[in-house]
A and B are shown apart, each in its own frame.
Chain A
Amino acid sequence: MSSNSNKGRFGEFGGQYVPETVMNAVLELEAAYNKFKDDENFKRELTALYKEYAGRPSLLYFAEKMTNDLGGAKIFIKREDLNHTGSHKINNVLGQILLAKKMGKKRIIAETGAGQHGVATATVCALFGLECEVYMGAEDMRRQSLNVYRMNLLGAKVTGVSSGTSTLKDAINEAMRDWCTNIETTFYCIGSVMGPHPYPEMVRHFQKIIGEEIKSQLKESEGKLPDCVVACVGGGSNAMGAFYDFIDDKSVRLVGAEAAGRGVDTTEHAATITKGSLGIFHGMKSLFLQNEYGQIDPVYSISAGLDYPGIGPEHAYLNSIGRAEYVDITDEEAVCAFEYLSKTEGIIPAIESAHAVAAAIKIAPTMPTDSILVINLSGRGDKDVYSIARYRGVDLVEE
């Protein structure tokens, strides 16, 4: 048995820091992933599911009104919100659950923040006839009650987690404890490019279709590469999916939008790249918001999907080598972008994705008019209407 000094690493980031009880399962998953990822039958099945079930390829939409309004780059929107279940999460879940099926697993667990990954997991488990349990912070269940009900409709059990800050981080802790306990039967379907190897690489592999489609769609319509790709970053799966195919295209600027909550100079934010430090947590070496003794900080964002104190190791790496840049978007900026895209293009974005829209609103006017900026719109915003109304002081009550 060799040491792990290079395996599953992005520079110094990554690794496999998990309890011994789950280590063999992680190694088994790694072996299964390596066996199936390039297997022709597996790829054919997954491609068919993407096309027939998820509705891929997703549209690349030219946002003409927004382009004219902002002046500057031509803005295109990658419509991951139009996927089945309403976000990019389905791409990864279809890949992982198909793999779980090949591995003979009967029970699937997942964590969820905003509920998008939980809904996608519950959906695919219903399709494949698998038992599904989703861990969700009690605070997030309150913020995203519609998604909780949706998961129940799909036949999943949603288990509330009220330890710690009762948000995404705590849901992951509890899912990991479940995994330790039910390791022989259970497949842990992680929703972002985080956790122990092979998850960061595997989730990116199942999400990289986003960037591949952007590239081919733009080639067809504009005959060239984009100049800038913008995506929101919590754990970072939609951003990794959008960025990955462009990493070697050095002319393409890659921008991740982090949640700055009430501001990065307050204690209420989730801006890991801007304010975090190197640590080891949730199976990976990466950047985390933590104190001097390594205690993980409580984090805050209006968006339950970006409300995480860490970031995927590949993003930490891309940041460290300067290949991608990360900007901070406050709650207020995200809510304004949410309203702006709704009114300007008739597209209601997820509040997570609205962080990317807000970054694009700042960047596009600084770019030449013959340049191209792509916003990865990771999800739709129906789920957020209540909380945005509440933010604006409107009390919605349905009779």
Chain B
Amino acid sequence: MKNRIDICFEKLKSEGKKALITFITAGDPDLETTKKLVLKKLENGADIVELGVPFSDPIAEGPTIQKASLRSLNNGTNLDQIFALVSELRKETDAPLLLMMYINTAFRYGTERFFTNCKASGIDGVIIPDLPFEEREEVEGMSDKYGVYNINLVAPTSHDRVKTIASQSKGFLYCVSSVGVTGTRSSFSTDFDEFFSLINSSASCPACVGFGISNPEQAKKMSGYCDGVIVGSAIVNIVAEYGKESIDKVGEFVNSLKEAL
């Protein structure tokens, strides 16, 4: 079966459109709201949804997603419940669904058991911020076996490693916009022309940019460099403020991002 991520990017390409990828922490404020939020985002133009698996010690996250992770864990959210949620969502959508998580989540669960359940529930890819390219063997045998993409990341500090990583990527390449952890930024200091010319000349799959993109203007500007944008903390901030009542507000925000692209 063809990976839904590939199907999605082929369709976007044929339509001449950029991808809008949005993140949300699963179980924040609860799993029922997460389900509604995912469907609302897809209704309003999100092409791909990343579900964050809450972790006790999210070292790559800024305060916004750290707090979301903690709210979710305090509700007792666990990985089995998230797989059940994905199975539920799969009854209603064919959009690509990804898990964003730390390597210990898959490792402790059992890597094969983890990818078996990814495939069974309908997960198309995983993003693991603390698994660099050099350690990819930790999951790659199993992710390949079950047809789940392990999404590679490159950062402005990757320098000469960009080419190697970009040329061996599947699904899409996650381009980290700037140094630092996740969270909204008012401006970027990265030289994007240089960064993306290196990426676009070597990438074996579409490239999307994330970290710090928080409004339609930034989304528009950044999408000019690549095939799509990833928005996380700006959405999580809305959920943090409005909780269960955040669904329509998130829908409106996602719609405004899509309109800008």
Contact = CB atoms under 8 A, between A and B. Distances in A.
Nearest to A177: B181
Interface string A273-288: 0000111111101001
B109 A18 contact: no
Given A4-B135, A177-B180, 15 more contacts: A16-B134, A17-B131, A17-B135, A20-B153, A20-B158, A21-B155, A23-B133, A23-B157, A24-B157, A177-B59, A288-B104, A294-B55, A295-B55, A295-B56, A296-B57
A182 B179 CA distance: 7
Given A164-B56, A184-B157, A17 B130 contact: yes
B105 A17 contact: no
Interface in B107-154: 107-109, 129-138, 153-154
A17 B180 contact: no
Interface in A115-155: none
A252 interface: no
20 contacts: A3-B137, A4-B137, A17-B135, A19-B59, A20-B155, A21-B155, A21-B157, A21-B179, A24-B159, A24-B161, A177-B62, A183-B179, A184-B157, A278-B108, A279-B104, A288-B104, A290-B108, A293-B105, A294-B55, A294-B109
A316 to B, nearest CB: 14
What 8 A-B pairs are tightest by C-beta distance, nearest first?
Answer: A294-B108, A181-B180, A294-B104, A295-B56, A21-B155, A4-B134, A20-B153, A23-B132
Nearest to A297: B56
B57 A164 contact: yes
A78 B135 CA distance: 39
B66 interface: yes
Contacts of B55: 294-295
A170 to B, nearest CB: 8
Nearest to A176: B59
A292 B108 contact: yes
Interface residues of B, number: 42
- The size class of the interface chain A forms with chain B is 35 or more
Contacts of B78: 293
Contact of B56 (A2, A4, A183, A296): A296
B105 to A, nearest CB: 5
Contacts of A1: 133-134, 161, 164
A277 B57 CA distance: 17
B74 to A, nearest CB: 12
Contacts of B137: 3-5
A277 B109 CA distance: 12
Interface string A169-181: 1100100110011
Interface of B: 55-60, 62, 66, 70, 73, 78-79, 102-105, 107-109, 129-138, 153-159, 161, 164, 176, 179-181
Contacts of A327: none
A277 B108 CA distance: 9
A159 to B, nearest CB: 14
A22 interface: yes
B157 A183 contact: yes
B179 A180 contact: yes
A169 B57 CA distance: 9
A177 B211 CA distance: 14
Nearest to B164: A1
Contacts of B135: 3-4, 15-17
A267 interface: no
B166 to A, nearest CB: 12
